[in-house]
Structure 1
Amino acid sequence: MNETLNLLGLSTTPLELLSFVLSIATVWLNIRQNHWAWLFAILSSALYGVVFFQAKLYGDMGLQLVFITVSVWGWYQWLHGDDTHARLPVTQLAWRGRAAAALGWLAGFAALAWFLMTFTDTDVPFADGFLTAGSLVGQLLLSRKKLENWHVWIIVDVLYVALYVHKGLMLTALLYGLFVAMAAIGLLAWRKSMLAEQRASEAMVLR
């Protein structure tokens, strides 16, 4: 699974290619709010953990392990996560929630960058730490169906394209370029869903 392939002029491996396909399926299902997205997320995270280990992106490798854990929790949240244990609706963060997410991102960045510089041989500790922390914030917001998760993913995915080009993971760089477009689509789709749910709730109250 580690032999080099040439796909449309891009150098890749069968492992990276399989991870690519599973990741596309995951985001497509997330946009559609289909809970089976979490199964694909678990599988793609496990495979990408190996890909990132081989590329010495240890922050991203460790993040995949966290993603697997969060995906199990997120799967439950999407199915039984609101106050009535019914299907979780799309909602927005209040300003305090946004501030907490931003502070969590910065704190995670500081801790991860220090860890990567101190205990690993990565050559990109700051980029790896910043994007790993941001990805974790995005995943947690996604698990609770917060609209802002798509804002986080757009920022993170744009920066990841540059990082993966730098590391020679060209197929993964292309994947994250597609993720930027898919995150924009997801943002619009989830906002439409949220507004529709709000109108339905208001109509029920008026009755």
Structure 2
Amino acid sequence: MAVSDFLSGLTEPLNTVLFHVGQDAVSWAELLGFATGAVGVWLTVRARIWNFPVGIANNIFFLVLFWSARLYADAALQLVFLALGIHGWWQWLRGGEQRSARSVRRASPRTLVVLLLLLVPVTWALTVVLGRAGDSAPFWDALTTALSLAAQWLLNTKQVETWYFWIAADVVYVPLYFVKALDLTALVYLLFLGLCLLGLRAWRRELTTEAAQPVAVPA
């Protein structure tokens, strides 16, 4: 049995069509991808470490969805996000001082400058790759992917600026998916945008609360 046949057998149940929204068929993979995405963002808003295993499940569902749709570049990117999710899970557990759990903090100006400078070459490279793969909107898909990668890196180290990058990505995603006639996906990302705004507010509040706490002085 060929590897492709084996993989098709594994993913076939997830590709079962459940219902239609207009002309769009919604499969188990797509529905579970949306559900885990929404739950994952909500857990991130609450600064709960369970956002990472839920996010990894989300990557797997979208990997199946994109692979089945022959969107191989998008499927490969899910593997990148999956690896970053595992890294972030460990960082939140043991990435703090003396391998303690991380707390919310601000990114340094240097970190932000580096990420912003990297957006240009990463977006350019992804535009070329996606264009050759036949993507319908290579630049915009590349830009949102680059923003999402930067946001995920900041999320892994629990830095409040992660939300600015997620918000920027979602601001592009919403009209992009409407233009692509993926109305359900656009509405889901509109929900994500609202959750990101809540996340920014919640993390900034937590940052202020932690800064106001008195520092313990050793006896």
Taking structure 2 as the reference length, what is the TM-score of the superposition?
Answer: 0.85
Q: Per the alignment, in what secondary structure is the counterpart of residue 20 of structure 2?
A: strand
Root-mean-square deviation (CA, aligned residues, Å) is 2.1
Asked which structure has the greater CA Rg, the reply is 2
Q: Say which structure, 1 or 2, has more relative contact order (CA 8 Å, 6+ apart).
A: 1
Report the residue type matching 2:62 in the other structure: Y
Mapped pair 1:89 → 2:115: no
Q: Contact conserved, 1:93 with 1:148, CA < 8 A, in 2?
A: yes
Mapped pair 1:172 → 2:185: yes
Match of 1:204 in 2: 216
Residues 8-63 of structure 1 show CA distances to partners (whole Å, capped at 9, x for unaligned) of x6843332111111111101111111111111101111111233345565543322
Mapped pair 1:25 → 2:45: no
Q: Of residues 143, 158, 162 in structure 1, which corresponds to 2:171?
A: 158
Q: Which runs of 5+ in 2 are unaligned?
A: 1-14
Q: Output the CA distance in 1 between the equivalents of 2:167 and 2:218.
A: 37
How far 1:127 moved relative to its partner?
Answer: 1.0
Match of 1:112 in 2: 126
Q: Contact conserved, 1:38 with 1:74, CA < 8 A, in 2?
A: yes
The equivalences for 1:8-23 within 5 A come to 11=24, 12-23=26-37
1:162/1:61 CA distance change after superposition, 3 Å: farther
Match of 1:50 in 2: 64
Q: Output the CA distance in 2 between the equivalents of 1:32 and 1:173.
A: 24
State, as a whole percentage, how many aligned pairs show the same letter: 35
Q: Of residues 67, 84, 87 in structure 1, which corresponds to 2:81?
A: 67
How far 1:116 moved relative to its partner?
Answer: 1.9
Mapped pair 1:137 → 2:150: yes
Report the residue type matching 2:170 in the other structure: D
Q: Output the CA distance in 1 between the equivalents of 2:92 and 2:125.
A: 30
Q: Per the alignment, in what secondary structure is the counterpart of residue 84 of structure 1?
A: helix
Mapped pair 1:102 → 2:119: no
Residues 173-200 of structure 1 show CA distances to partners (whole Å, capped at 9, x for unaligned) of 1111001000000001001111111222
Q: Of residues 179, 189, 204 in structure 2, which corresponds to 1:191?
A: 204
How far 1:4 moved relative to its partner?
Answer: 6.1
Q: Output the CA distance in 1 between the equivalents of 2:216 and 2:23.
A: 54
Report the residue type matching 2:159 in the other structure: K
Residues 126-170 of structure 1 show CA distances to partners (whole Å, capped at 9, x for unaligned) of 111111111111111100001110000011012111222233332
Q: Per the alignment, in what secondary structure is the counterpart of residue 98 of structure 2?
A: coil
Taking structure 1 as the reference length, what is the TM-score of the superposition?
Answer: 0.89
